[in-house]
Structure 1
Amino acid sequence: MLFLIIKGTLSENVRRLYVKDHDEKDAQSTKPAEYAFDLVCTSCREAHGSPVLINLVEKHEMPGSKGEASFIMKCKFCSKDISVNLLKFEKYLYNPDSGVEEDELEEKSIKLTRKKHGLKSLKENNNAAILQLDCRGCELTKFYPSSVMFQAELTSGNVMDCQFENGEDEWYDYDEDAGEEVSVSSFQSEIIKG
């Protein structure tokens, strides 16, 4: 099983960071986030020519199987079936310096869940395994953070949209209500095995 990890340094006034995604309970909700990944076929080891877009909402019937997947295709080089199923894992990247007691309790729950899924190496507080990636016939090798909109939940209660442009690892904005700058710096993503 693979996991998509995001890391970053949140300013003290940013409580948590998460992907802005479709909420099934809210009819007025935004469209689903399209996660962009580089993909390599595990059979012939050829890379797909361009990033593939996968979301959490769409489900496709897998050929020759009773199961469903978020993304299916045939390798254009060897014609093997490829599928990826995305599952939400952790909701937020928490700020360990926010001082919010509720977040500290959530942090303990996260550590137990990580241990159960073989993610003991994620001991730092400044990272989150936001997606579980069930890949069959392929390996996802790179995530493009610019493909999704993030939201920064501030300690003031405000929520701000946060976009990382291609190659950028920082975001800065200004919270009008609190009268202070908010930021995410040293933002990184990686795909690891659990």
Structure 2
Amino acid sequence: MVGVSRHQMNDLSGSRGEANFVWRCKNCKRESSATIKAAPASYEGSDVPKAKNIIEIDTRGLEFTEFRADGEWEAVGTDSGTRFTGIDLADGEWFDYDEKAGDEVSIKDIQWQIRRA
């Protein structure tokens, strides 16, 4: 497993370019890279509950086979505007309580899919 951070840039060898992830094969010395093309897109509470692209990654010489929601995510209460930070989606769900709205809030039934363009 490898991680890709949109906040980290690495130099591509033999080029002036950069990528978020650069990997060089020890055997053939071939270099592969991945670049996150834009910051993750929001999924709004008013969106119809269907699949939505949240991130687009340009890969060169490699292919992703799995996505894990490691790291911290953020959410905003639909009616109250309460900000929730440090959300861990590694288990595929999150539950909390919105004091302003006086109600439970959650993110659940998450599914990830990798699609090739």
Q: TM-score range by the shorter chain?
A: 0.7 to 0.9
**Out of 131, 134, 159, which is 2:83 matched to?**
159
Q: CA offsets per residue over residues 119-138 of structure 1, 9 Å max, x none?
A: xxxxx653332221111111
Number of the residue aligned with 2:22: 72
Following TM superposition, the consecutive aligned residue runs of length 4 or more in structure 1 with deviations greater than 6 angstroms are: none
Deviation at 1:59, TM superposition (A): 2.0
Deviation at 1:89, TM superposition (A): 5.6
**Contact 2:6–2:39 under 8 Å retained in 1:** no
**Contact 1:90–1:128 under 8 Å retained in 2:** no
Deviation at 1:92, TM superposition (A): 0.2
Number of the residue aligned with 1:84: 34
Number of the residue aligned with 1:186: 109
Number of the residue aligned with 2:73: 150
User: Compared with structure 1, are the counterparts of its residues 170 and 64 closer, same or farther at alpha carbon in structure 2 (3 Å cutoff)?
Assistant: same
Q: Relative contact order (alpha carbons < 8 A, sep ≥ 6): 1 or 2 greater?
A: 1
**Contact 1:89–1:129 under 8 Å retained in 2:** no
Q: CA offsets per residue over residues 111-161 of structure 1, 9 Å max, x none?
A: xxxxxxxxxxxxx6533322211111111111111x121111112010113
> TM-score if structure 1 supplies the norm length?
0.53
Q: Structure 2 unaligned segments of length 5 or more: list them.
A: none
Alpha-carbon separation, structure 2, partners of 1:94 and 1:126:
11
Give the letter for the 1:71 counterpart: F
Q: CA offsets per residue over residues 22-46 of structure 1, 9 Å max, x none?
A: xxxxxxxxxxxxxxxxxxxxxxxxx
Deviation at 1:77, TM superposition (A): 4.5
- 1:152 aligns to what SS in structure 2? strand
Give the letter for the 1:151 counterpart: E
**Contact 1:92–1:128 under 8 Å retained in 2:** no
Alpha-carbon separation, structure 2, partners of 1:176 and 1:125:
25
Matches within 5 A, 1:1-194: 51-88=1-38, 91-96=41-46, 125-145=49-69, 147-155=70-78, 156-161=80-85, 162-165=87-90, 168-194=91-117
- 2:63 aligns to what SS in structure 1? strand
How many residue pairs get matched?
115
- 2:109 aligns to what SS in structure 1? strand
- 1:143 aligns to what SS in structure 2? coil
User: Compared with structure 1, are the counterparts of its residues 130 and 85 closer, same or farther at alpha carbon in structure 2 (3 Å cutoff)?
Assistant: same
Deviation at 1:90, TM superposition (A): 5.2
More helix by share: 1
Deviation at 1:190, TM superposition (A): 1.7
Q: Structure 1 unaligned segments of length 5 or more: list them.
A: 1-50, 98-123
